């Protein structure tokens, strides 16, 4: 007879399934990112920023670390922690007898105020500094963009966004376009325009780089939504190169007329092939205090009748074709945003409080960077560009059983684990 904890399967009547296997975990692979965390010092950094006050069973630092690791394991709702409270992998990597429950997590995150949120913001950059202490880049490409996060019900500051055609939040993000590292993320009301307060958003990041890493060369890329004189002036003040797309308008078209004539004179009515022509000129919009360099690409694809124009404002002195090439590589940022939202749950913000959702977004940013740094600094070349969805299958989702023997505690992993050699090599490397 089948009980509540005993199930039969339809393809083999002799096979029974139950959920009473004991101290088992399906996330024993969290040992790898936790070991990397220990090497780089993320947990110590969190504890330094949020020292324990009083004798609470779960401190603010404990909750932040728990959310980081449940995020890495793919549990993007706090309810999952109620089921994971006694999970042997989680309790061992977090050093707790039991995990914080969903109500405890909510109470902790709802306790955050603006000053604590600012601490998290600074913590994200200081964690980047930990990675730079291991391997400092020569260049950092600041890819800035906004994205959309759907909301549900009466969440604070949720608003309709006409560009996305739905209700939600409209956060601003800046990544290193060469590595995928997240440098800053700010939750915003859903109805704000793309470039709203972008200069104020970026200024602390630029100050941090110039203060901590003055030798790193910075270049910013942005689409036409960020074509604002306030941003140009900020970047010029901090000696930052930029390539920012401009929206097509009549004045820009007039400035490129000579290049249009050259294009038609060179390629005429040859519609059988794709053709490109590059040009640059000095331009000053009505809202600009000074004139700036604008590069232009005129392109016509095979079979098309009329050419298209791409205008980029820049302070680079490189050839126009190289400038256009630098700009178009910003497309990789869409992949970074996709991974952050889908693989790390940044698109799952379910709290009613706007501030609490902003806190959750930054904590998940820490989880994202922990894996981003791990990919770059310790993973083999074959896995450095893998998404978290892939790494979760290869490294994290490993069956493990907790066994206590004398003074030792063993987390015994599945003998049938296909990636045993990779797992072994990483543990040795991080030892």
pLDDT for position 5: 66
pLDDT for position 57: 86
Distance CA 81, CA 86 (A): 9
Mean pLDDT of 292-298: 96
Phi/psi at 240 (5° precision): -110, 130
Q: What is the pLDDT of residues 39-75, one digit of tens each?
A: 999 999 999 999 987 777 899 999 999 999 999 999 9
Q: For residue 2, name the pLDDT band (cuts at 50, 70, 90).
A: very low
Q: Extract the tokens encoding 93.
A: 């990597």
Q: What is the pLDDT of residues 203-229, one digit of tens each?
A: 999 999 999 999 999 999 999 999 999
Judged by average pLDDT, the poorest of 115-119, 308-312, 403-407 is 403-407
Phi/psi at 134 (5° precision): -85, -45
CA distances, 233 to each of 98, 183, 236, 238, 243 (Å): 52, 21, 5, 9, 13
Among 236, 149, 143, 249, which Cα is nearest to 189's?
Answer: 149
Name the pTM for this structure: 0.94
User: Is the per-residue pLDDT at 254 higher than 60?
Assistant: yes
Q: Return the number of other C-beta atoms located less than 10 Å from residue 303's C-beta.
A: 9
DSSP string, 221-282: EE-GGG--HHHHHHHHHTT-EEEEEE---HHHHHHTHHHHHHHHHHHTT--SS-EEEEEEEE
User: Is the per-residue pLDDT at 163 higher than 90?
Assistant: no
Q: For residue 13, name the pLDDT band (cuts at 50, 70, 90).
A: confident
Q: Please give the mean pLDDT across all residues of the chain.
A: 94
Q: What is the pLDDT of residues 322-343, one digit of tens each?
A: 999 999 999 899 999 999 999 9
Q: What is the pLDDT of residues 97-147, one digit of tens each?
A: 999 999 999 999 999 999 999 999 999 999 999 999 999 999 999 999 999
**120-148 burial code (b ≥16 CB/10 A, e <16):** bbebbebbbebbbeeeebeebbbbbbbbb
Residue 33, C-beta contacts closer than 8 angstroms, at least 6 positions apart: 69, 72, 370, 371, 374, 396
Distance CA 163, CA 72 (A): 31
Mean pLDDT of 276-304: 94
DSSP string, 125-185: HHHHHHHHHHS--SEEEEEEEE--EE--SS-TT-EEETTTTEEEE--EEEEETTT--EEEE
Distance CA 377, CA 134 (A): 8
Q: What sections of 256-351 are H helices per DSSP?
A: 257-267, 320-328, 332-338
pLDDT for position 219: 98
pLDDT for position 1: 35
pLDDT for position 33: 97
* Environment class of 21 (CB within 10 Å of its CB; exposed 0-12, middle 13-18, buried 19+): exposed
């Amino acid at each position: 007879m089948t009980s509540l904890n005993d199930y039969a399967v339809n393809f083999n009547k002799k096979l029974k399934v139950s959920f009473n296997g004991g101290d088992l975990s399906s996330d024993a692979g969290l040992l790898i990112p936790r070991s990397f965390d220990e090497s780089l010092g993320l947990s110590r950094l969190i504890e330094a920023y949020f020292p324990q006050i009083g004798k609470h069973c779960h401190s603010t630092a404990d909750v932040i670390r728990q959310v980081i690791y449940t995020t890495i394991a793919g549990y993007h709702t706090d309810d999952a922690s109620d089921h994971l409270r006694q999970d042997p992998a989680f309790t061992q990597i977090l050093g707790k007898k039991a995990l914080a429950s969903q109500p405890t997590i909510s109470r902790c995150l709802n306790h955050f105020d603006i000053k604590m949120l600012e601490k998290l913001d600074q913590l994200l950059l200081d964690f980047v500094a930990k990675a730079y202490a291991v391997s400092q880049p020569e260049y950092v490409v600041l890819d800035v963009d906004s994205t959309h996060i759907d909301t549900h019900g009466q969440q604070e500051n949720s608003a309709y966004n006409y560009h996305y055609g739905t209700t939600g939040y409209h956060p601003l993000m800046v990544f290193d376009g060469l590595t995928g590292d997240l440098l800053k993320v700010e939750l915003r009301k859903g109805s704000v325009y793309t470039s709203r307060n972008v200069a104020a958003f970026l200024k602390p990041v630029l100050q941090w780089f110039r203060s901590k890493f003055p030798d790193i060369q910075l270049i910013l890329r942005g689409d036409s939504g960020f074509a604002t004189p306030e941003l140009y002036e900020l970047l010029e003040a901090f000696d930052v190169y930029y390539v920012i797309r401009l929206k097509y308008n009549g004045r820009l078209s007039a400035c490129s007329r000579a290049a249009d004539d050259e294009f038609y004179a060179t390629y005429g009515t040859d519609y059988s092939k794709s053709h490109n022509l590059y040009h640059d000129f000095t331009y000053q919009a009505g809202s600009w205090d000074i004139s700036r360099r604008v590069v232009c690409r005129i392109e016509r694809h095979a079979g098309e009748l009329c050419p298209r124009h791409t205008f980029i404002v820049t302070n680079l002195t490189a050839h126009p074709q190289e400038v256009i090439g630098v700009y178009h590589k910003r497309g990789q940022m869409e992949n970074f945003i996709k991974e952050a939202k889908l693989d790390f749950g940044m698109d799952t913000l379910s709290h009613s409080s706007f501030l609490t959702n902003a806190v959750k977004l930054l904590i998940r940013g820490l989880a994202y960077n922990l894996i981003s740094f791990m990919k770059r600094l310790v993973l083999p070349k074959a896995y450095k560009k893998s998404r978290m969805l892939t790494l979760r299958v290869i490294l994290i989702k490993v069956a493990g059983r907790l066994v206590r023997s004398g003074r030792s505690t063993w987390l015994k992993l599945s003998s049938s684990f296909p990636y045993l050699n990779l797992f072994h090599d990483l543990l040795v490397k991080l030892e």
